[in-house]
Structure 1
Amino acid sequence: MIVALVTSFINYKISFVDLDETLHEISQSEVSFKRDYLSGYIKSSEILLSSIVKSDLTKEFVLSNEINDKINATNLFYALAFSDKDVMQLRYIDRTGKEVIRIDRNSSTDDLHVISDNNMQDKKERSYFKEAATLKENQYWYSNIDLNVEHGKIEQPLKPTFRVATPLIINDQFYGVVVVNLLFGETINFLSFSENFNIYLANGDGNIIHHPDNSQSWSQYFSNLKKLDGIFPNSASNILKSNAFYGEGVYSYSLGDLFGNKDNLKVIFTPKSGVKKTMQNKNIISALLIALTVLAVSFPLSWFASIIPSRLQSKLSEAYYKIKKNAAVIDKHVMILSTDRDGVIKQVNMCFGETTGYSTDEVIGKKQSDFRHSDTSLETYGDIRELILTGNVWEGELKEIDKEGNDLWVHKFITPDVNADGMINGFTTIVQNITDKKNIELLSITDSLTGLYNRYKLESVLLSESSRCDRYKNNFSVIIFDIDFFKKINDTYGHLVGDDVLIHLAKLLKENTSITDVVSRWGGEEFLIVACNINLHDTYIFAEKLRILIENYNFPSIGKMTISCGVAQYINNESISELVSRADFALYQAKKMGRNKVVKA
């Protein structure tokens, strides 16, 4: 009898220890999923701000301060805010701290509003402006997780928010800050969801951001609520000072490294009473049955008793499976893939398949470069591989294709996987689909009728080429031309036919210029080509070939037409307006000489 009781007691204690360790492992799995989701959320906000500060529309407005440029930049802000429902406010604040562009989302209707100039505010004393203004290009400032405050009062119902800001730097000069205010409620809901645990979120000061009882959340704003040390008096100190803490029935993890702010966000897991009680009850039953087994000295009963622990294990497996199901939330937003050291794909998640159109079987065994777009060179993937094999992380944008051959713009974050010996045995890649944002950027620099670059894009290209040539003493030239007697075509055949002529002409230009040439619709029936790394003589020959090609082409409805061209080569340190003026004067000379000619400046 004593042997049976001792055996039963030992088995129960072992099972109890195993239970606590199993719950600890389940919490680790859950926090891993939550970390991946949060990382994707933060990365998405950085990509949004990067799209703005790197956009030619933003730079053109900041440098010119012209009203038309401001309208274009505002439209970019509006489109990006529209594409992300978490954006509550998106602003450009100039170097003096004054709001210049501001898009607000109505919390009730979800509508976006462009704020008028007379409602703009001075933000030079705000911490996010001061701190973001000290950052370098491509650096980001992150706020703490706060409640939204309107006119000095906490907005009701409570609205958790999170701000991200980055400096706007052009040619090493600081021009202001771009800041986005994000709704953080859905993210808190995800971080605090669990079927097995009560989850608390706390900041580094011990204030409770989220409590399983929502009425007890946000202790920093409501003095009557308990802080972390009031809820976990024996564990609070260890939770706050440790990146990961494992106490009796308390498992905490830090996510502060993802934010780069002062919050040092903590996620604390405590098993729900029902979960632990159910598991403990089954352990008690298991222990009693084992005691009976010893008393009866019966192998059949021993076998029967073993069924109960196996059922317990089955229940734990079911619980773990439910946790894995939660990963589907992440799968909807972030593509994740794993490769071996040679770059061969070993595993992809559901989001990857849904985004690219490939099944898992079609992807396993391939390399990431197999999905490259023809615009992205193989050398680019080689450079990435060379970097990550040294143990470094690579982050950047790539143009790839999906299964149907459609353009797929992605932002990738590739990290090495290191084994216990410190050797790289593979890589994990987190992939964000940024195709929509790239399409918005493309629309902002593309002529809607012809599909060629518009004037705003060409001005940026000309500035870039002139800077490169001044530095490296290279050549580049421009060809400016327009259609002879185009007004007569519109008057005779109508504007729809005139538009069709422009579309066909654009198609001819695309097909007969090189990948290094930049072709744009300069305005009306006037076009401009930037010919990179070509001197005046060779550009003249190129322009003459285009003139002859167009002269011999049969355009729908009108048949034949001609063009007149002016060609000019960039002279070191001259302004862009001087270069274009010289090419434009050469075009004027071509028309004066009877049209259908090419004239060099």
Structure 2
Amino acid sequence: MRELTETEPVIIFEGIEAPATLGLKASRSANYQRKKQGFYARFFLTNSAPMLLIDPSRDGQIVDANLAALNFYGYNHETMCQKHTWEINMLGRRVMPIMHEISHLPGGHKPLNFVHKLADGSTRHVQTYAGPIEIYGDKLMLCIVHDITEQKRLEEQLEHAAHHDAMTGLLNRRQFYHITEPGQMQHLAIAQDYSLLLIDTDRFKHINDLYGHSKGDEVLCALARTLESCARKGDLVFRWGGEEFVLLLPRTPLDTALSLAETIRVSVAKVSISGLPRFTVSIGVAHHEGNESIDELFKRVDDALYRAKNDGRNRVLAA
């Protein structure tokens, strides 16, 4: 920013020169324009929100930045004004069509979310408000930037909490039903050829009663990690509730599902937790058949698990 050295100082935008005017009428018009631009410039200069002036006709060149923007991005004024908007946006040049569209909207646009790169190489989630502004005949864009990184982090935490079990970190039952909705199954390309494992921790109530709930929690967490280590790429592991877990196995025939279930059973039996005897699991296995609903499939795998428990536990049975 700089000031005009006339009777009344008027701040104007750095690097944007006022055109020469002739005659009284032109002089009055120029004075009005100067004051009008001065108003915008003061708003720009003193605002606590980062603000950028961008020239769409010059490949998104940043022609000015207020102090808040310099502090936010970590550049000095000279360096900042050598940048193009696509250089600070993680979309790169893909942001240019968006910017050109905005520059032709008379009233600006709804806020858009981007990821911007700072001078130190770090990134921040930002929400931008931008719209066209004319300064001394130059058709520019005024962009107001709000840092929403913390808000984004909290949103991601809430979303994660909604879809995951708090103790084990696995996907939860709610997410299982979301994923197995018909539309979602088609999207995941597992609408038909998939299998299900239902895993139950043997004598878990006895562990809780004899060794305490904290040790019971250790068992569940150790089991969760074992299931994750045995799962293949693309398999989905869920905590169903209590001591029960589910594995959804895309593109997996019954014989392969049974083999994986046996691998899990053997691996769990080797888990060692300080202060506890070794524990085992029983596993029911079922393969999706025809137009069978997810509830019908789950009923079959639950019946298989029930038989495995009744047959002596620590075993795998197919539906």
1:504 and 2:222 equivalent? yes
Q: State the partner residue of 1:591.
A: 309
> Hey, what does 1:486 align to over in structure 2?
204
Residues 328-386 of structure 1 deviation map (CA, whole Å, 9 limit, x = unaligned): 24x3xx999999999999999857976xxx744899796755xxxxxxxxxxx79x949
Structure-2 residue corresponding to 1:25: 37
In structure 2, which of residues 28, 44, 47 is the aligned counterpart of residue 16 of structure 1? 28
1:346 and 1:521 map into 2 onto residues whose CA distance is 54
Contact 2:192/2:290 (CA < 8 Å) preserved in 1?
Answer: no
Judged with a 3 Å threshold, the aligned counterparts in structure 2 of structure 1 residues 398 and 564 are, in CA distance, closer, same or farther, namely: farther
Q: Secondary structure at the match of 1:482?
A: strand
1:124-145 C-alpha deviation (Å, 9 max, x unpaired): xxxxxxxxxxxxxxxxxxxxxx
Contact 2:194 2:249 in 1 (8 A): yes
What is the root-mean-square deviation in Å for CA atoms of aligned residues? 5.1
Matched, 1:328 2:48: yes
Q: Do residues 544 (structure 1) and 297 (structure 2) align? A: no
Alpha carbons of 1:471 and 1:485: their partners in 2 closer, same or farther (altered >3 Å)? closer
Paired residues for 1:95-114 under 5 Å:
none
Quote the Cα distance in structure 1 between the aligned partners of 2:61 and 2:28: 42
- 1:337 & 1:514 partners in 2: Cα distance? 49
Provide structure 1 residue ranges, at least 5 long, that are not aligned to the other structure: 1-9, 31-319, 370-380, 418-427
The residue correspondences of 1:282-321 to structure 2 (distance < 5 A) are: 320=41
Looking at structure 2, the residues matched to 505 and 475 of structure 1 have their Cα atoms a distance apart, in angstroms, of: 26
Task: Quote how far apart the aligned CAs of 1:20 are.
Answer: 0.8
Q: 2:299 aligns with which of 571, 581, 586?
A: 581
How far residue 484 of structure 1 moved from its aligned partner, in angstroms, is 1.0
- Counterpart residue number, 2:163: 445
> How many Å apart are 1:522 and its aligned residue?
0.6
Alignment TM-score, normalising by the size of structure 1: 0.36
Relative contact order: is structure 1 or structure 2 higher (C-alpha 8 Å, sep ≥ 6)? 2
- TM-score (normalizing by structure 2): 0.63
The answer for the alignment partner of 1:50 in structure 2 is none
Paired residue secondary structure (2:186)? helix
Q: What does residue 461 of structure 1 align with?
A: 179
2:194 matches 1:476: yes
- What amino acid is the match of 1:582? R
Alignment of 1:146-545 (within 5 A): 320=41, 322-329=42-49, 331=50, 350=68, 359-360=74-75, 368-369=89-90, 385=94, 388=97, 410=125, 432-433=148-149, 434-464=152-182, 467-468=185-186, 474-514=192-232, 516-545=234-263
Comparing 579-588 and 526-535, the one that deviates more: 526-535
Q: CA deviation at 1:565?
A: 1.0
**Distance change in 2, residues 1:15/1:400 (3 Å):** closer
C-alpha distance in 1, partners of 2:207/2:248? 27
In 1, Cα distance between equivalents of 2:53 and 2:196: 45
Q: 1:557 aligns with which of 261, 264, 275?
A: 275
Q: SS state of the match for residue 180, structure 2?
A: helix
* SS state at 2:272 partner: coil
Deviation at 1:510, TM superposition (A): 3.5
Confirm or deny: 8 A CA contact 1:562 1:596 kept in the other structure: yes
What code does the residue aligned with 1:500 have? E
Q: 1:23 to 1:336 in 2, by over 3 A?
A: closer
State the identity as a percent.
27
In the TM superposition, residue 520 of structure 1 has moved relative to its aligned partner by: 1.6
Q: How does 1:105-144 map to 2 (within 5 A)?
A: none
The number of residues matched between the two structures is: 272
By how many angstroms is 1:25 displaced? 3.0
Q: CA deviation at 1:578?
A: 0.8
